Amino acid sequence: MPSLRSILQATSQESLGQNIEEKTAPNLRFGREELMSYKLTPAQPADVDSLTEMYRLCYPLIDLSPEERYNYFVRNPRCSLEDVFVVKDGKEPIASMIAYRFDQFQEEVEIPVIGIANVMVAPNHRKRGVANFMMQRSLEIFEEEGIAAAILYPFEHRFYRYLGWGYAGEIRQYQIRCRQLAEYLEEEEDDDLETVLFQERQMPQLMEFYDAVASRSNGMLRRNEEYWRGKLVAPPRQAVLAYYNGEMIGYLIYSLEKIHTDNPFVQEIVVHEWMAPTLDARDALLGFLAKQSDQVESIRLSLQPDEPFHLWVDDPRNLDHRFLNRLYAHTAMVGLGWMYRLVSLKEAFESGRRFNNVKGVLKIEVEDDQLGDREIGVTFSGNGAKVDKAASKPERIVRGSVEIVSQLFCGYTTAEEAYEQDLLEFEGKDTIEFCQQAFWLPAPRCYDLF
């Protein structure tokens, strides 16, 4: 399988501009000649200074030193300079993005995906189709390499939905006072439960626990040790580990922030990562947070949609904003997060997923303005799937846009929801039921920000 770098280097300038006019986002003012002057290449060491300056111009409010911005490209714990794409107009970079190589879990299978991050366009080159060109060409490269899917955190939702990304991740963010966790103080008195502050010697155990949870999840990413040490538990962050009879059962990672800039003693706990797969883990970690009330005023806690914090405590309200609408109490804010896009349909369906052991044949018609409309036949064997040409008269057909098919594939949208909301078309007497079973997954979750 060719690498991204080899594909980029082997691609001619003529092919870069092929059909690009027909695939560009609406409301952008540029012509074919301008597009043809752009070139997508892998970053070179000589580009790093320009990338560092572009980072400063595009994200001026991110509080990083010049050295930290520079190291983001050359000492990133999850990628190398070879994973940075740049668009050049002549010799100078005018846009860039990082294509992280991740392994993502679905049905206990690790599937290689690309994580797109740090998409930047120089301020004086915006609204000329540069980002659209970069994303369009990147998708073609990912497909040529045989990448199953690409994920990202969007800044402009409409732009990425146009490019074929569907929604995948949500969170519920709660903001409460420590005293609202008072009922969990007694959990710390349970002799079987214990919480301890993380120490360096516990790193292998923490990583092993995360890997075990991730492997049974839908959407979590494999992590390396350098990322754990350099990002997740690096100061000022602190991890808290929960144990039951000496066995690790959960953890949280938090930092302290000032609520008022003129008073450093009024603090808020910000929980960056919450991993409590059992009720014992939940009780132990909430008990730890409850004990911080002497020096902490409030807690900001982001949870997955299937973690109903408002059912865990007697009073889940945000006491700073008591009502949303008349007498409806303000509890949590909903956040739309990462997005998911199928790229190579063959690689995605033949990734090793078992598709809940269904057996049968399904024709899938995907409308894709970026990579071209596709029709495939998928044979589900009960232990996996194989992609072939679609039958001329299939018994089951599902038809729709690539973003909604992607949402179905990753488990964000079920077949029944897609039918009820008129998001996909289904043909065949049992097609909805078949797809409901084949594509059902637990709600997607990804804790990594990239």
Mean pLDDT in residue range 44-70:
95
Mean pLDDT in residue range 127-145:
96
Rounded Cα distance, 223 and 207, in Å: 8
Mean pLDDT in residue range 407-416:
98
Pairing of strands 263-275, 296-303: parallel
pLDDT for 11 equals 54
Phi (first) and psi of residue 328, to 5 degrees: -85, 120
Kindly state the percentage of the chain with pLDDT values over 70.
92
Query: 279 and 248 in contact (C-beta within 8 Å)?
Result: no
**pLDDT tens-digit series, residues 312-333:** 999 999 988 878 888 899 999 9
Domains in the chain: ranges and CATH: 4-147 (3.40.630.30), 171-336 (3.40.630.30), 343-439 (3.30.1050.10)
Rounded Cα distance, 395 and 323, in Å: 51
Q: What angle do CA 331, 337, 315 make, to 5 degrees?
A: 15
Mean pLDDT in residue range 134-149:
97
Report the amino acid identity of residue 450. Answer: F
pLDDT higher than 50, residue 386: yes
Q: Which two tokens stand for residue 214?
A: 């991730």
Checking 319-324 for CB contacts under 8 A at 24+ apart, the result is 319/176, 319/177, 319/180, 320/175
pLDDT for 6 equals 64
Residue 405, C-beta contacts closer than 8 angstroms, at least 6 positions apart = 166, 342, 364, 366, 398, 424
Query: 16 and 137 in contact (C-beta within 8 Å)?
Result: yes
Beta-carbon count within 10 A of 25 CB: 17
**pLDDT tens-digit series, residues 96-133:** 999 999 999 999 999 999 999 999 999 999 999 999 99
Pairing of strands 374-381, 84-89: unpaired
Q: Which two tokens stand for residue 204?
A: 């292998």
Q: Is the pTM of this model over 0.85?
A: yes
pLDDT for 327 equals 87
Least trusted range by pLDDT, from 2-6, 162-166, 263-267: 2-6
pLDDT higher than 90, residue 259: no
pLDDT higher than 70, residue 5: no
pLDDT for 90 equals 85
pLDDT for 22 equals 46
pLDDT higher than 90, residue 379: yes
pLDDT for 12 equals 39
pLDDT-derived band of residue 19, with 50, 70 and 90 as boundaries? very low
Beta-carbon count within 10 A of 11 CB: 17
Nearest to 145 by CA among 8, 301, 327: 8
pLDDT-derived band of residue 37, with 50, 70 and 90 as boundaries? confident
Q: Which two tokens stand for residue 344?
A: 């190579």
**pLDDT tens-digit series, residues 219-240:** 999 999 999 999 999 999 999 9
For every residue of 123-192, DSSP letters joined together read: GGGTTSSHHHHHHHHHHHHHHHHT--EEEE--SSHHHHHHTT-EE--EEEEEEEEGGGGGGGGGGGG-TT
Distance (Å) of CA 93 to CA 44, 46, 107, 411:
10, 10, 40, 38
Least trusted range by pLDDT, from 9-18, 119-128, 386-395, 429-438: 9-18
pLDDT for 356 equals 98
Distance (Å) of CA 217 to CA 13, 221, 267, 407, 440:
42, 9, 33, 16, 13
pLDDT for 324 equals 84
